[in-house]
A and B are shown apart, each in its own frame.
Chain A
Amino acid sequence: MEKKFMNGNEAIAEAAVQAGCRYFFGYPITPQNEIPEYMSKRMPEVGGVYLQAESEVAAIYMVFGAAGAGGRVMTSSSSPGISLKQEGISYIAAAELPCLIVNIMRGGPGLGGIQPSQSDYFQATKGGGHGDYHLLVLAPSTVQEAVELTMDAFDLADKYRNPVMLLGDGYIGQMMEPVVFEKKPSPILPAKDWTITGAKGRKANLVKTLNLDPVILEQHNLKIQHKLQEMARNEVRVEHYLTDDAEVIIAAYGTVARIAKTAIQILRKKGVRAGLIRPITLYPFPYKAFEDIASRVKKILVAEMSLGQMVEDVKLGVCGRAHVRFYGRTGGMVPSYEELVMETERLVKEAL
């Protein structure tokens, strides 16, 4: 397999094209501009459509229209732009339209900064827009993994008729690494007989989100919840790194998980048996991994580029059976491995 040296954003775009994505709608924002730029050149080569919308709001509704029409479609943005898309994401989830939304996170709130961040975790995993829904959220920690998750994302979206978000921080987007593009064969996916193609020889199809009758709306929301429960049974992905003999666990995702691995190697040289649990799916969250580890490891350090968001899910998983400490940097600051070593050592020394 040929290895290519690419930056994360371009690799995500190429992976999407190779996964059959043929429609891209977006609006420029740093640090993800390489995705639309790459798509503007690549889509015409494969007979696809690249369209620079007038705003993120318009872009997400173009995604709504294209997904409703049966297209393999994506959009990408960064934090402030993702905030603008939230209305549309709620409508897309309500109409059960498959698509990929990439968020290459930067520091917020407000216009914030353009440096990497993980402070959109709540927004991505807990709803973001209004109503009872969730996205399937995938969090890569290398460029190679970003490629693989992007390719899987379209199949997952089709399988569950649910929007999928690829949640990376600015580093994942900007970092250059060697990557291999290898698309797994798609599973058998449900037929798209509900899409808008013109009512030729069949009854008219309808893509809608209005349900004025609360009995029907409740049924609809329960149906969505049922899909989410099935996702939680089938799709949880998590990496365990040196957890078998661990006396202390670092929990981190994305770029922070890579920094944590370096910290763990240093800690082990110093005689501290540290391990890592890295959620890859942030929704559905790997609660079970934390429930299990809490039965033998009593100290967990959650490290994030935020002021504490994923830590709440770790606590839910642990459910009081281990001590959970948080360490985070915010605003585009990235925790160093020295900081993680120091925090872990402090936690280990602490009497419970």
Chain B
Amino acid sequence: MVEVSGLERVFSRPKSLLPVVTHYCPGCGHGITHRLVAEVIDELGIRERTVGVAPVGCAVLLYKYLDVDMYEAAHGRAPAIATGCKRVHPDLVVFTYQGDGDFAAIGTAESVHAAVRGERITTIFINNAIYGMTGGQMAPTTLVGQKTTTTPMGRMVERAGYPIRMSEMLATLDGAAYIARVAVSSAKYVVQAKRAIRRAFETQLKGLGYSMVEVLSHCPTDWHMTPLDATLWVEETMMKVFPLGEFKVPKELV
């Protein structure tokens, strides 16, 4: 790379993010979120003591992109694995990165009880209202009326119930210290998302309890939309059902 002398470098790849091409579809929200996590790890100076737990889902290969010690979990079990690790090494910073099928369907018990215990771990929860990896089936967060490969006429409440709001649900638990819902659909939201991810990690660093950031993430491929339409769908449709905001903030961070 040509260095132009006299100019200050204002943008570069976070050190915790490995210089490789990801396997994500063009326009996918996972890549943006990976980068935010890496930036926060760099800024907090915790790369050498951070441990990630990858899910089963589109982000299963997360360990190829982040330069930290990692586990790859079974579907839904990341919070239990993170718990086992954190209990052995309380000084490490342990986070799980999970999709909605992983975190809010097959792994609901592990998710809820990590929060119940106030486990000092952080979850980055990717809510894309769909099962990405398996080809676009209904997720627990699929919106009413949303078409997926297993709700071909749209999600009907009488057959398939309603979308689950994990942030609101977990915020009721005393062990949950920081809970926020963000989006990565445009620059404004990306900035907010990064702030929330940073606060979630800070909550863990201060030993205040469980922290979780729900990221409304676009999946143009399985939503059958252009990347631009997908980001608009997040903002115009998803946010109505999943309002953004901080649902719980520990007083130590205020």
Interface membership of chain B positions 80-102, coded 1 if the CB is closer than 8 angstroms to chain A and 0 otherwise: 11111111110010000000000
In the assembly, what is the distance between CA of A199 and CA of B152, in Å? 46
Chain B residue at smallest Cβ distance from A48: B87
Cβ of A63 < 8 Å from any Cβ of B? yes
Whether B105 sits at the interface, judged by CB under 8 Å, is no
- B80:A207 contact, CB within 8 angstroms: no
With A62-B80, A204-B67 known as contacts, the answer to whether A69 contacts B88 (CB < 8 A) is: yes
CA distance A62 to B112 in the complex (A): 15
Assembled-state Cα–Cα distance A197/B51 (Å)? 8
B174 within 8 Å of A (CB atoms): no
Identify B51's interface contact among A57, A59, A63, A196, CB under 8 A.
A196
Are A198 and B60 within 8 A (Cβ)?
Answer: no
Choose from A58, A63, A208 the contact partner of B71 (Cβ within 8 Å): A208
A198 near B109: Cβ-Cβ < 8 Å: no
Interface residues on chain A, number (Cβ under 8 Å): 38
Stretch at the interface among B24-32, B42-50, B137-145, B224-232: B42-50
B165 at the interface (CB under 8 A from A): no
Determine how close the nearest CB of chain B comes to the CB of A181; give it in whole angstroms.
Answer: 25
Min Cβ gap B217→A in Å is 21
Q: Does residue B156 face the partner (Cβ distance < 8 Å to A)?
A: no
Contact of B85 among A54, A69, A204 (CB under 8 A): A69
Cβ of A225 within 8 Å of any chain B Cβ, yes or no, is: no
Contact with B along A56-100 (1 / 0, CB 8 A): 011101111111111101000000000000011001000000000
Q: Does A29 contact B (CB under 8 A)?
A: no
Instruction: Judge whether B109 and A58 touch: CB under 8 Å.
Output: yes
**CB-CB contacts below 8 Å: B41-83 with A:** 47-51, 53-54, 60, 63, 66-74, 77, 80-83
- The 8 Å CB contact of B69, one of A62, A91, A199, is A199
**How distant is the Cα of A145 from the Cα of B81 in the complex, in angstroms?**
32
| A23 in contact with B88 given A54-B109, A61-B73, A87-B74 (CB within 8 Å) | yes
Known A-B contacts A53-B80, A61-B80, A61-B81; the reply to A70 vs B88 at CB < 8 A is yes
Which residue in A53, A91, A200, A205 is a CB contact (below 8 Å) of B74? A91
CA distance A20 to B72 in the complex (A): 27
Q: Check A66/B87 contact, CB under 8 A, given A91-B74, A204-B69.
A: yes
Distance of B138 from chain A, by nearest CB (Å) = 23
Q: Is the Cβ of B92 less than 8 Å from the Cβ of A63?
A: no
Partner of B48, one of A54, A59, A61, A200: A200
- Taking a contact as CB atoms under 8 Å apart, the answer to whether B113 and A54 are in contact is yes
Specify which chain B residues have a CB less than 8 angstroms from the CB of A61 in the assembled complex: 73-74, 77, 80-81, 84, 110
Q: Is A58 touching B77 in the complex (CB atoms < 8 A)?
A: yes
Contact check, B110 vs A67: say whether CB atoms are below 8 A apart: no
Query: Hey, what's the 0/1 contact readout for A208-225 against B, CB within 8 Å counting as 1?
Result: 111000000000000000
Interface centre among B77, B84, B92 (most CB of A within 10 A): B84
CA gap between A207 and B82 in the complex, in Å: 12
Question: Chain B: residues with CB nearer than 8 A to chain A?
Answer: 47-51, 53-54, 60, 63, 66-74, 77, 80-89, 92, 109-110, 112-113, 116-117
A residues engaging B (CB < 8 A)? 23, 25, 49, 51, 53-55, 57-59, 61-71, 73, 87-88, 91, 196-201, 204-210
Q: Would you mind naming 29 contact pairs between A and B with Cβ atoms under 8 Å apart?
A: A23-B84, A49-B87, A51-B117, A53-B113, A54-B113, A57-B77, A58-B113, A61-B74, A62-B81, A64-B84, A65-B82, A65-B83, A65-B88, A66-B87, A68-B71, A69-B88, A70-B88, A71-B87, A73-B84, A88-B77, A196-B70, A198-B50, A198-B51, A198-B68, A204-B67, A207-B71, A207-B72, A208-B54, A209-B72
Q: Could you list 12 further interchain pairs (A-B, Cβ under 8 angstroms) beyond the known A49-B87, A61-B84, A69-B88?
A: A51-B87, A53-B113, A54-B113, A61-B77, A64-B73, A64-B77, A66-B85, A71-B87, A196-B85, A199-B67, A208-B71, A210-B72
For the complex of A and B, 3 pairs with smallest distance between CB atoms: A65-B84, A61-B80, A66-B84
